[in-house]
Amino acid sequence: MAEVVLVHCTSYDNHEVEGAIRRGIDLLGGVKRFAKKGERILLKPNLLAADPPEKCTTTHPAVFGAACRIFKETGARVSYGDSPGRGSSASVAAQAGLHDVAVEEGIPLDDFQTVVEVSHKEGRQNKKFSLAKAVVDADGVISLPKLKSHALEKITGGVKNQFGCVPGFLKAEFHAKLTNAFEFGRMLVDLTNLVRPRLYILDAVYAMEGNGSRSGNPRKMNLLMLSDDPVAIDATACRLIDVDPELIPTIVYGQEFGCGTYLEEEIQLSGDPFQEFVCPDFDIDRGPIEKYVSGSGSKLAVVLLAIIKIKVGARLFDNLLISKPQIDASKCLKCGICIQICPTQPKSIDWVDGDKSQPPRHDHNRCIRCFCCQETCPEGAIFVKKPLLRKIFGKY
Ligand code: SF4
Ligand code: SF4
């Protein structure tokens, strides 16, 4: 039986957050269950990008600070780190407000530069990983995810948070190789099974909805969630925001690969009542992730789609039905970051005829829909466009 603790927390006031997390950890059996004197404990927040805390891109400094203090008390040697989508860990930690807290608490930023190859024989899809040295050296990892909508995997929470254990540019290789949400989700589960964080403290005091995981809007949920089961924590979060957990690859494969459970009858909730945090109008796509491609859905819809595919050709069919990244030219500052981050060669987004005075343009015939450009754009100028046919067929 998995245990997920829901704790009410109305603000990022340091005192309130720390009290809520202490209460949650006590309900799970106390902090000594998760760290012992002398152990190396790595705190792994979400440091996706260099945004200030109020943007809700990253784990809030108040949550991080509380975790620092609580785990320091165990006598463990506590460090922290993450590998952001772009930029150095230090600069992102500074902008996100974690650096100052870490200095105050005497917690060092650990080594997320050095790459260590690790074999993972039990991996169901990925048998080896390149991990940050800090992760390999740690006796235990405490994962501090943020609840956010996500263009590729629909949500980012417990399971997805471990992707930052893969250093810098190596993340792009996974995007280039694993070109759909299902393959990518399987890799994330393999990775989480390898890293095996001892505890997850999910920050949903303010979550992010809409155009996440960087350019969405803060959504107040007054909630901190704690568990040692990342699948159960993600599935419970999904139920709170009215998303079917069976639509999330990291949750479905998480169950299948023994990473945790999403079944309601196998999850014991404790702490504050579930109903206090229900958020049915959370802005998120509740449709399936391109499931029609594998032929699921009603028979009539599948037959119609097969006919359309033959008639128009596979490429055009994909463009007519699969959600795609789109640029809002009015928001674009022509910085070119989206081009740098695109993992395909040649690039699937580029300047038109080299003209940097105009926004870049996507080549949707080449694009693998990893949505790295959407996730990384600092201006929120890239959004996910759902084609009309997809909207129609998605219902069936
Ligand atoms: S879309 Fe975003 S990342 Fe790309 S050039 Fe414009 S502002 Fe920069
Ligand atoms: S254009 Fe964007 S979504 Fe398409 S492959 Fe490049 S980064 Fe990924």
pLDDT 10s digits, 157-199:
999 999 999 998 899 999 999 989 999 999 999 999 999 999 9
What span, in angstroms and rounded, lies between the C-alpha atoms of 324 and 331?
A: 18
DSSP 242-277: T--GGG-HHHHHHHHTTS----GGGEEEEES-GGGG
Q: Are 46 and 82 in contact (CB under 8 A)?
A: yes
Residue 294 — pLDDT band, cuts 50, 70, 90? very low
CATH number at residue 273: 3.40.50.11440
Q: Could you give the CA distance from residue 86 to residue 340 in angstroms, rounded to a whole number?
A: 10
Residues 321 and 181 in one domain: no
Q: Is the CB of 359 under 6 A from ligand 1?
A: yes
**Residues in the chain, how many?**
396
Asked whether 333 lines ligand 1 (CB < 6 A), one says yes
Do 232 and 334 share a structural domain?
Answer: no
341 lines ligand 1 (CB under 6 A): no
Residue 283 domain-assigned? Answer: no
pLDDT reported for residue 396: 59
Q: Is residue 133 part of a domain?
A: yes
Residue 292 has pLDDT above 70, yes or no: no
- Ligand 1, atom 8, lies closest to the CA of 335
Rounded to an integer, what distance in angstroms lies between the CA atom of residue 379 and that of residue 396? Answer: 35
**Using one digit for the tens of pLDDT, what is the confidence trace for 369-380?**
999 999 999 999
Write down the pTM of the prediction.
0.93
Which residues have CB under 6 Å of ligand 2?
Answer: 325, 341-342, 344, 348-349, 362, 367-373
Which pLDDT band holds residue 291 (cuts at 50, 70, 90)?
very low
The pLDDT tens digits of the residues spanning 15-58 come to: 999 999 999 999 999 999 999 999 999 999 999 999 999 999 99
Confidence of residue 298 (pLDDT cuts 50, 70, 90): low
Q: Is the CB of 316 under 6 A from ligand 1?
A: no
The number of domains in the chain is 2
The position carrying tokens 């760290």 is 35
Distance 250 CA to ligand 2 centre (A): 21
Identify the CATH number of the domain in which residue 296 sits. 3.30.70.20
Distance 344 CA to ligand 1 centre (A): 17
3-class state of residue 199 by DSSP: strand
Given ligand 2 and candidates 349, 352, 385, which is best to mutate, with the most ligand atoms within 8 Å of its CB?
349
Query: Would you state the pLDDT for residue 283?
Result: 98
Domain boundary among 232, 252, 277: 277
Q: Let me know whether 248 and 310 are in one domain.
A: no
Q: What is the 36 CA–ligand 2 centroid distance (Å)?
A: 43
Residue 213 sits in the same domain as residue 309? no
Range of the domain at 321: 291-394
Sign of the four-CA dihedral 199, 112, 89, 97: positive
Q: Is 120 exposed, middle or buried (0-12, 13-18, 19+ CB in 10 A)?
A: middle
Alpha-carbon Rg for the chain in angstroms: 21
Domain boundary among 216, 250, 277: 277
Is 154 inside any structural domain?
Answer: yes
Asked whether 339 and 351 are in contact (CB, 8 A), the reply is yes
Over range 123-136, report the average pLDDT: 97
pLDDT of res. 18? 98
